[in-house]
Amino acid sequence: MKRTALKFAAAAIFAAGASSVLAQQQQTVISLDTAKKMAAACETLANSQGWKVIIAVVDGGGNLKYLSRMDGAFLGSIEIAQLKAGSSAKFPFSTRMLGEIAQKYVPGIVYVPGLVTFPGGLPIVTAKGEHLGSIGVSGVTADQDEQCAQAGVDAVKGDLNLK
C-alpha cells in the first residue's frame, strides 16, 4: 500500500514538473530566423541611408541570438549594440526610456555597469505584454540607431503579434 502511494506521489510530482516544462515550451521565443529577419530589415534601412551599423538581437534572458556587422561598421559598436540590446532585455523599456528614467527619477542608474541609457535598444514585446527579447543597434547617431532598431521590430510585428 505504501509503495503504491509513493508511486502515485512520484507520478504526480513528475506530471506537475512536466506541465511546467510544457508551459515554458509554449512561450513565444525569438527564433534564429526571426532574429535574422529583424537584422535584414535594419540592414535594408541602413543601406538606404548609407549607414554602417552593428545589430544585436538577444532573447528574453539577454543572451545573444544573432549579431550582424555591416561592412565598414566600427568595431567598438559591436559591444555597444550588445549592451543596448542587453539593457533593454533587463528592463522591458527602450534604452531611450531608461535615459529618461535616469534624468527624472533615478540619476544613479547611469552608473550601473553594463546599462545603456541612450537610444538604440528596443524591447520586443508581444501584444499580451510578453517580453521576448531585445534588439540593439550601434554605429550612427543614437536616434538613427533607434530608427534602425525600430525597422527590425516592425519587420516581425505580424509574425510575433507585437505591440
| Burial (0-12, 13-18, 19+ Cβ within 10 Å), 44 | middle
pLDDT of residue 25: 52
pLDDT at 12: 43
Helices (H), 71-129: 76-90, 95-104
In 3D space, the residue among 134, 127, 35 whose CA is nearest the CA of residue 91 turns out to be 134
Closest CA to 131 of 121, 144, 143: 121
The arithmetic mean of pLDDT across residues 121-148, rounded, is: 96
Q: The whole model's pTM is what?
A: 0.83
- Number of Cα atoms under 13 Å in the Cβ half of residue 163: 13
Residue 162 has pLDDT above 90, yes or no: no
* Rounded-to-integer distance, Cα 13 and Cα 160, Å: 33
Phi-psi region of 106 (alpha: psi -120 to 50; beta: other; left: phi over 0): beta
* CB neighbour list of residue 133: distance below 8 Å, 6 or more residues apart: 30, 57, 58, 59, 60, 62, 65, 85, 89, 123, 124
C-alpha–C-alpha distance, residues 155 and 95, integer Å: 20
Report the length, in residues, of the chain: 163
For the cut 70, the answer to whether the pLDDT of residue 134 exceeds it is yes
Question: What pLDDT band is residue 18 in, cutting at 50, 70 and 90?
Answer: very low
2: three-class secondary structure by DSSP: helix
User: Could you read off the pLDDT of 60-83 as tens digits, one per residue?
Assistant: 999 999 999 999 999 999 999 999
Span 31-54, average pLDDT: 98
**Residue-wise pLDDT tens digits, 89-133:** 998 899 999 999 999 999 999 999 999 999 999 999 999 999 999
Q: Which domains does the chain have, with CATH numbers?
A: 28-160 (3.30.450.150)
**Taking 80 as the threshold, does the pLDDT of residue 48 lie above it?**
yes
Q: Which three cell numbers stand for residue 27?
A: 512561450
